[in-house]
């Protein structure tokens, strides 16, 4: 085997719901009690909600159910230090990260402090020039140029032990708010607010960086309300009403689990975003949504009423994650993250529209650069990576933009099913020996089974610095350390990622029949929004569907299928699956793993399936195995009844197969899998061919040299058509004569 050859693994489907009588009865009872579709109740039951009260609590939320922010360790010292700065009119700097989580956290805290009369500025380091985290250089700037006395970090700072001490020497106090993994020794700041602190009793650890800031402000506002004789819930409600939108955007963009408190925050935030009065956010939404509709081939501008309706329909967690977040993120990747903050803080519509358009343009540049880097990375992987032995893809390049490599790493991990780390030396000074200037910055993504931060900690001696989460992390490394770092990482990963761990698993909530796939179910699925990590979009499996049509979409970049099961036809859309590379054929029977969607076109609503994966149907595989075994038996001399099994081909059978193969050959199709060829023949002559008969026809073609037939691997054929073949009769075939001799005669 070529060690560089990529191992293609069929995705494994995990069906969460396994029917049993007791559960089925309970689910039906709850569904009837709450007026839910039985499948909706089944999905909720799968996800741990086993009573009607639990389901209602999940579906109906309110801010009263948020956790007490004072359970966060150091929350009181943080509040006290901020209050002191406000009362003393000290200059405050908000120090943030350059991703969406950091940008929204900076914006949220800046707005709140400004509202309370603070003298406040913000600082976000350049991704390319400074890299991630707090730096002495930035502290010097804030001390010398801004006369800052208090730095509040958001979404960063948990590993800034030395920088906190340096700031103190420069006369600056620091309050750290972060949500990244902690080191054994915490920074000696005035306060370190992070739910991941080992000594933190906060019950929900999965807040985003902006979520931690949100909780800090809830705590601060609670103290303000108590001073004014109001209740704590009044303080929480004030923060929710003003800032749930920014918190939701950062939470979704940072791919935090949409459960518990995050689900509540995102739900409240999405409601705000739909009717936002934040001019910058509104402009960005408008720039991200289609501004026209197609009527008779003409682009007609949407009316204000249509734009409002579009917002109500389109704004959900998916739109934030794939529409808004990339545009905000692009600023920090290609330009400077301060542009995104300025947009969110903008106060005039004209300014907001200009800046939103600029972010969209930057995002377009990001997409172009991302595709360029991805293609280079794929070529490097195909040429050099040892798929048989290595478990982590580690690539480096002198010219990759550092703002792009994290996204490309995500694409690589998704494409190959392996952890990946991309390292860029863009801007470093290359030399013969190691120097402090010849340092690359890396970004990595991982898979379940390999905690990336723990893996990097194992290789810590080879790194300048590192940090991040279980599945995403960043690092800095000297050029001369890359080879040994690569060896160490792969040794570490090999011990933890066996073949089973490398298999890609897809979860489905349950199997559905065509009767259960309905508009009612599709509408009820939306009640489970907002979706995200830990509360994914429900996925289902439809068994034994027949593909009746294959239609290109988007100039062939996507594929639409018409499938039929139990006499019912429906549309199934395969986004990102080019029709030219689609591996199934008309008449093939497949199992489909899908998400249920409502398609709206010309005021007509229909249910469609968004395909996530397709397998040859299990029933077809069993049937194929039986037919293959029967073919081997007959080929070995077993008797058969042709009136029952229809094995012996006629001259007409052979002629039609040859005609179809010649037509396909002229169109450039000369290679087929057995089942694809059988589907093709069934499409041309329904009911005329079966597996065994077709196999013998191909053997006869090969024997009589009617056309070239090669089988380089079992079940895969390559054909060479002779357009002026020597005339012959299939009666000359010894294979056919032997078949006829094995046929049982009627008594």
Q: What is the pLDDT of residues 95-151, one digit of tens each?
A: 999 999 999 999 999 999 999 999 999 999 988 777 778 999 999 999 999 999 999
CA distance 697 to 551: 31
Burial class (CB in 10 A: 0-12, 13-18, 19+), 734: exposed
Q: What is the mean pLDDT of residues 514-522?
A: 93
Residue 311: per-residue pLDDT: 80
Identify the residue with better confidence: 515 or 503: 515
Contact (CB, 8 A) for 205 and 97: no
Query: Does residue 432 carry a pLDDT above 60?
Result: no
Query: Does residue 586 carry a pLDDT above 90?
Result: no
Residue 8: per-residue pLDDT: 62
Residue 3: per-residue pLDDT: 46
Task: Tell me which of 37-41, 367-371, 556-560, 669-673 is least confident.
Answer: 669-673
**Which DSSP string do the residues of 220-284 spell out, in sequence order?**
HHHHHHHHTT--HHHHHHHHHHHHHHHHHHHHHHTT-B-SHHHHHHHHHHHHHHHT---HHHHHH
Q: What is the mean pLDDT of residues 559-582?
A: 92
Query: Does residue 675 carry a pLDDT above 90?
Result: no
Question: Cβ atoms within 10 A of the Cβ of 222, count?
Answer: 23
Identify the residue with better confidence: 473 or 434: 473
Residue 19: per-residue pLDDT: 67
3-state helix, strand, coil split of the chain in percent (to 5) is 45, 20, 35
Question: Cβ atoms within 10 A of the Cβ of 629, count?
Answer: 9
Residue 745: per-residue pLDDT: 65
Residue 468: per-residue pLDDT: 81
Q: Which residues contact 562 (CB under 8 A, 6 or more apart)?
A: 547, 548, 549, 551, 569, 570, 571, 572
pLDDT tier at 554 (50, 70, 90 boundaries)?
confident
Identify the residue with better confidence: 298 or 503: 503
CA distance 79 to 94: 15
**Which DSSP string do the residues of 533-575 spell out, in sequence order?**
BTBPPP-EEEEEEEEEEEEEETTTTEEEEEEEETTEEEEEEET
pLDDT in tens, 480-510: 999 999 999 999 999 999 877 788 889 999 9
SS3 letters across 157-174: CCCCHHHHHHHHHCCCEE
Q: What is the mean pLDDT of residues 350-361?
A: 95
Specify whether the backbone of 610 is left (phi greater than 0), alpha (psi in -120 to 50) or beta: beta
Residue 747: per-residue pLDDT: 44
Mean pLDDT of the chain: 91
Task: Tell me which of 422-426, 554-558, 725-729 is least confident.
Answer: 725-729
- Percent of the chain residues past pLDDT 90, beyond the cut: 70
Contact (CB, 8 A) for 478 and 439: yes
Q: Provide φ and ψ at 334, rounded to 5°.
A: -105, -35
pLDDT in tens, 625-666: 999 999 999 999 999 999 999 999 999 999 999 999 999 999
Residue 296: per-residue pLDDT: 66
Q: Provide φ and ψ at 176, rounded to 5°.
A: -95, 125
Q: What is the mean pLDDT of residues 587-601?
A: 90
Residue 5: per-residue pLDDT: 55
**Strands 91-96, 119-123: pairing kind:** parallel
Query: Does residue 79 carry a pLDDT above 60?
Result: yes
Three-class secondary structure of residue 578 per DSSP: coil
pLDDT tier at 161 (50, 70, 90 boundaries)?
very high
Q: What is the mean pLDDT of residues 235-239?
A: 94
Q: Which residues pair with 599 in a beta bridge?
A: 606
Nearest to 368 by CA among 407, 397, 337, 421: 407
Nearest to 430 by CA among 381, 499, 482: 482
CA 77 to mean position of chain CA atoms:
38
Contact (CB, 8 A) for 110 and 94: yes
Residue 1: per-residue pLDDT: 39
Q: What is the mean pLDDT of residues 238-262?
A: 95
Q: What is the mean pLDDT of residues 70-74?
A: 97
Nearest to 609 by CA among 588, 622, 590: 590
Residues in the chain, total: 747
pLDDT in tens, 305-322: 777 777 877 889 999 999
CA distance 531 to 255: 11
- Percent of the chain residues past pLDDT 70, beyond the cut: 96
Residue 173: per-residue pLDDT: 97
Nearest to 276 by CA among 264, 287, 288, 284: 284
Task: Tell me which of 187-196, 294-303, 537-546, 582-591 is least confident.
Answer: 294-303
CA distance 510 to 490: 37
CA distance 645 to 743: 10
Residue 183: per-residue pLDDT: 86
Domains of the chain: 12-58+506-616 (2.40.50.460), 69-271 (3.90.1640.30), 275-374 (3.90.1640.30), 385-502 (3.10.310.30), 624-742 (1.10.10)
Supply 314's token pair: 């389109």
């Amino acid at each position: 085997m070529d060690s560089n050859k990529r191992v293609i693994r069929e995705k494994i489907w995990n069906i969460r719901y396994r029917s049993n009588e007791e559960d089925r009865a309970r689910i039906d009872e709850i569904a009837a009690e709450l007026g839910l579709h039985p499948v909706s109740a089944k999905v909720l039951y799968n996800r741990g909600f086993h009573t009607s009260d639990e389901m209602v609590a999940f579906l109906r939320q309110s801010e009263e159910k948020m956790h007490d922010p004072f359970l966060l360790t150091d929350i009181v010292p943080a509040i006290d230090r901020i209050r002191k700065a406000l009362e003393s009119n000290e200059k405050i700097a908000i120090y943030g990260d350059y991703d969406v989580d950091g940008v929204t956290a900076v914006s949220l805290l800046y707005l709140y402090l400004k509202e309370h009369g603070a003298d406040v500025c913000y600082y976000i380091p350049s991704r390319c020039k400074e890299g991630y985290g707090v730096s002495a250089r930035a502290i010097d700037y804030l001390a010398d140029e801004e006369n800052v006395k208090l730095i509040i970090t958001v979404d960063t700072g948990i590993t800034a032990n030395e920088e906190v001490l340096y700031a103190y020497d420069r006369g600056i106090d620091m309050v750290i708010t972060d949500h990244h993994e902690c080191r054994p020794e915490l920074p000696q700041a005035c306060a370190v607010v992070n739910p991941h602190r080992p000594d933190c009793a906060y019950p929900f650890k999965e807040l985003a960086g902006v979520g931690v800031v949100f909780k800090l402000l809830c705590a601060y506002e609670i103290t303000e309300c108590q001073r004014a004789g109001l209740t704590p819930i009044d303080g929480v409600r004030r923060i929710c009403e003003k800032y749930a939108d920014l918190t939701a955007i950062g939470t979704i963009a940072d791919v935090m689990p949409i459960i518990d408190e995050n689900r509540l925050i995102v739900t409240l935030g999405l409601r705000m975003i739909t009717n936002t009065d934040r001019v910058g956010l509104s402009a960005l939404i408008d720039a991200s949504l289609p501004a026209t509709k197609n009527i008779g081939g003409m682009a007609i501008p949407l009316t204000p009423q249509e734009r409002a309706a579009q917002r109500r329909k389109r704004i959900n967690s998916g739109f934030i994650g794939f529409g808004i977040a990339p545009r905000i993120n692009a600023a920090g990747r290609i330009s400077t993250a301060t542009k995104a903050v300025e947009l969110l803080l903008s106060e005039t519509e004209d300014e907001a529209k200009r800046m939103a358009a600029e972010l969209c343009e930057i995002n377009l540049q990001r997409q172009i650069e991302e595709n360029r880097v991805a293609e280079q990375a794929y070529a490097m992987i195909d040429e050099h990576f040892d798929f048989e032995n290595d478990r982590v893809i580690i690539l480096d390049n002198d010219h990759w933009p550092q703002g792009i490599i994290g996204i490309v790493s995500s694409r690589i991990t998704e494409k190959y099913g392996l952890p990946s780390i991309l390292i860029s030396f863009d801007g470093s000074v290359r030399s013969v020996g190691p120097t402090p200037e010849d340092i690359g910055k890396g970004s990595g993504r991982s898979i379940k089974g390999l905690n990336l931060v723990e893996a990097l900690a194992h290789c810590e001696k080879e790194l300048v610095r590192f940090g991040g989460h279980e599945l995403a992390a960043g690092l800095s490394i000297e050029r001369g350390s890359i080879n040994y770092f690569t060896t160490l990482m792969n040794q570490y990963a090999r011990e933890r990622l066996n073949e089973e761990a490398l298999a890609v698993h897809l979860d489905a909530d349950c199997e559905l029949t065509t009767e259960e796939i309905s508009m009612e179910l599709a509408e009820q699925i939306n009640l489970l929004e907002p979706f995200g990590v830990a509360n994914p979009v429900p996925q289902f499996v439809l068994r034994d569907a027949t593909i009746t049509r294959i239609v290109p979409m988007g100039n062939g970049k996507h594929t639409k299928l018409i499938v039929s099961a139990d006499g019912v036809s429906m549309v199934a859309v395969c986004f990102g699956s080019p029709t030219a590379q689609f591996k199934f054929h008309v008449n093939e029977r497949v199992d489909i793993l899908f998400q249920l969607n409502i398609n709206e076109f010309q005021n007509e609503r229909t249910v469609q399936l968004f395909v996530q994966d397709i397998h040859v149907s299990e029933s077809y595989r069993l049937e194929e195995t039986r037919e293959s075994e029967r073919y081997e038996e007959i080929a070995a001399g077993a008797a058969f009844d042709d009136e029952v099994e229809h094995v012996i081909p006629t001259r007409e059978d052979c002629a039609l197969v040859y005609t179809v193969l010649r037509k396909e050959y002229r169109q450039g199709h000369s290679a087929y899998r057995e089942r694809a060829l059988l589907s093709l023949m069934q499409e041309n002559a329904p009911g005329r061919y079966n597996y065994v008969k077709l196999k013998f026809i191909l053997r006869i073609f090969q024997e009589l040299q009617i056309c070239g037939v090669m089988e380089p691997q079992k079940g895969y054929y390559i054909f060479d058509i002779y357009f002026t073949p020597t005339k012959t009769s299939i009666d000359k075939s010894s294979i056919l004569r032997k078949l006829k001799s094995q046929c049982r005669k009627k008594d």
